[in-house]
Structures are given as C-alpha cells and as structure tokens.
Amino acid sequence: MKLIHCADLHLESRMDSSFSVRLAKDRRRELLLTYKRMIAYAAEQGVAAVLIAGDLFDSGKVSRRAVRDVLSEMQARPEITFFYLCGNHDKNNLSSLSALPENCKTFSAEWRSYPVGDVVVTGIERFDESAAESLSLDPSARNVVMLHGQLSSGASGNWNINLKSLAGKYIDYLALGHIHSHSFGRIDGRGKYAYSGCLEGRGFDECGEKGFLLLETEGREIESTFVPFASMALHAVNAELDASLVTRAELEARTESAVKDIPASDMVRVSLTGERGAELTVDTDYLSRVLSEKFRFAKVIDASRLAVTADDYKNDVSLKGEFVRLVRGSKLTPEEQDKILECGIRALRGEDI
C-alpha cells in the first residue's frame, strides 16, 4: 500500500516581505496548485492515504475560499483518506472552520488512531512528556504516528519532540512536520522517523529541492522515497570577488558565472563575498536588474570586504595613506570603514561619490 507523507505547505503564506506584491500573490496561487497536483499524483499512483503533518496553512486566519479549495480537492478523491494534523502555524483545526468531508480525518489534544488498509495511523496535536507516556500502540499492528515539532534532546513539549520518549513504543514510521527540509533517522530497532520538508520553498531560507515522501508499506519495513515536486526552487549562491575585478563588466561576468547552471524559472539570491579592490564600484541594484532579466526573481547583495588594510599603507606618507590608517584605526564597524574608505578614495581620485 502506498501513502504520501507531506507537511508544511503553508498555504496562504504572505511572502510579500521578500517579493513584490504581484510575485507573492502568484506564488500563493502556486502553493495551492502544487497541493492540487500532489493529490492528482496520489490518485494516479493509487495512494491510499495522504498524511499532512502540520502547517497546511500559514496561520490560523484562513480565508473561506482557501478552506473550500483544500476541502473540495479531498472531496473529489473519496478513495483517498486524508489525515490532517494541526501544526504551530495553523492553530485552528480545519474542523472548526468548516464541515469536513468523510475522508478527512483530524486529530486533537488526545491520541487518536485510525486504521487505513494495512496500517494504523495515530496522532496527537501538542505532543509532550505525558502524551509520550500515554501512547499505547498495538505491537502487532503496522503503526504510523504523526507529530509536529522539532527533534530535541530536552523534554518533549512546546513543539519539541524527544525521540527517546518514543523508543520502544512500537512505532514503525513517525511522520513529522515542522522542519522545512527532508531528513530521515531511526527511533529504535523497529521504527524510523522522517521529515518530508515543505512542498514549495517560500524564501531563501528554504532553498533546494522540495517535495513529499512516498511510502510503501508492504515490505519488512515501511520504505520512504523523497519525491521532488515543487514547481520551482530557490537558490542562494555566493560569487567570490577578488582585487583583480575592476570594471562593471568584469563584476557582471563574475556574478553571472555563479548562477550559470540555474534554470530561468527559479529564483536566485547572489551574495558577493571575498575581497574587492577600491577601484571596483559595486552596484547591487544594477546587478539585480541584470539577473532579473534571466530569472523569475533575482537579488544581489554585497557581503564583500574592501581589500585595503592599514598595513598596506603603513609607510605611505600621502594623504591617502593617512586617510586609510585613520579609518582602519577607528572604532567604526568594518562595514562602515569600507564605505568611508570607498567614498574617500574615490574623492581623492576626483571621481563622483
């Protein structure tokens, strides 16, 4: 039997702090479309159940339209059972927002179990130490447990999950949500845990491949395979500068070489790193504009340092030497020093500041 384990869809996420209003809106539509596409995939593959391990929505405030969109997809696939566990973001349980279709099962602050095919799906919202103690599973069943939170070596509770408290509890597969990249590990000799990660990246802290886990329950152990499924990816890359770069064209070429293997439909953020010479003018707005013509979204940020040290000018008696030593010897932050040096050196050269 096949199952899908997904989490952290964060539908209706605003995303307008990183992107334009228009792009953010477009991405919100895409989050919903990817959810719909995943369900179509589930139907095609004959998946028996879809486990949503929390944060289906980005907040407790959900539009009626979004709830309708989500539920109508479930309704249209009565052959698939949907297990929806609330996370820390979507505090309002779906059931408080709308009547649920027959095939959508939810959880609460007490353990609930549902048999589906050859497994039993058990879950609880707000897992803590006492919940761990009260978990009692049938050792002879194939047990899938759903929880939302981060793995922690401390006490369970407040979205922390201590795996030790789940060892020896007859769990075969622990479907986790909350961490936005996928990972796997073992609970004990019998069971394993997995994070599916989020379905789509929403910012540059969610780079790389996103998707869900496809589970196969028939073997000796429940097998899980990561299925990349996002409509696009975000990439945060570095472009290392050095003192050999002088012209705008050279800087542009260096920046472009950092993103040459990234598909145009993706989003990129390039951080300029390393050391630049004082002759080079870094115009990140210009570079962002250049890359924006090639990618769906592009942003260039300058994290490079100015390759001018007081030591370089130790014995320099010129005004420039005095200026460099004065600035480098000041209590200003290195970034402030770089800015002042750049302006000053340009002024000494008679250029525009």
Binding region for Mn ion (CB under 5 A): 55, 87-88, 178
Q: How far is the CB of 210 from Mn ion (least distance, A)?
A: 15
* Cα radius of gyration (the chain): 26
Q: Decide whether 62 or 270 has the Cβ nearer to Mn ion.
A: 62
Q: How far is the CB of 55 from Mn ion (least distance, A)?
A: 4
Q: Decide whether 176 or 327 has the Cβ nearer to Mn ion.
A: 176
Q: What is the DSSP letter of 58?
A: S
- Output the CA–CA distances (angstroms, integers) from residue 209 to 85, 180, 238, 303, in the order listed: 24, 11, 18, 25
Whole-angstrom distance, CA of residue 187 vs CA of residue 194: 10
Q: How far is the CB of 351 from Mn ion (least distance, A)?
A: 51
Whole-angstrom distance, CA of residue 327 vs CA of residue 343: 12
> Residue ranges of the alpha helices (H) in the chain?
21-44, 64-75, 94-97, 129-134, 248-257, 284-292, 319-328, 334-348
Q: Decide whether 88 or 98 has the Cβ nearer to Mn ion.
A: 88
Whole-angstrom distance, CA of residue 147 vs CA of residue 352: 59
Q: What are phi and psi of 29, to 5 degrees?
A: -65, -40
Whole-angstrom distance, CA of residue 240 vs CA of residue 220: 49
Q: How far is the CB of 106 from Mn ion (least distance, A)?
A: 17
Q: How far is the CB of 286 from Mn ion (least distance, A)?
A: 38
Q: How far is the CB of 159 from Mn ion (least distance, A)?
A: 7
Q: Decide whether 88 or 231 has the Cβ nearer to Mn ion.
A: 88
Q: Decide whether 85 or 214 has the Cβ nearer to Mn ion.
A: 85
Q: With beta carbons less than 8 A apart as the criterion, state whether 42 and 211 touch.
A: no
Q: Decide whether 28 or 148 has the Cβ nearer to Mn ion.
A: 148
List the one residue out of 229, 223, 231 whose CA is nearest residue 3: 223
Q: Residues in the chain, how many?
A: 353
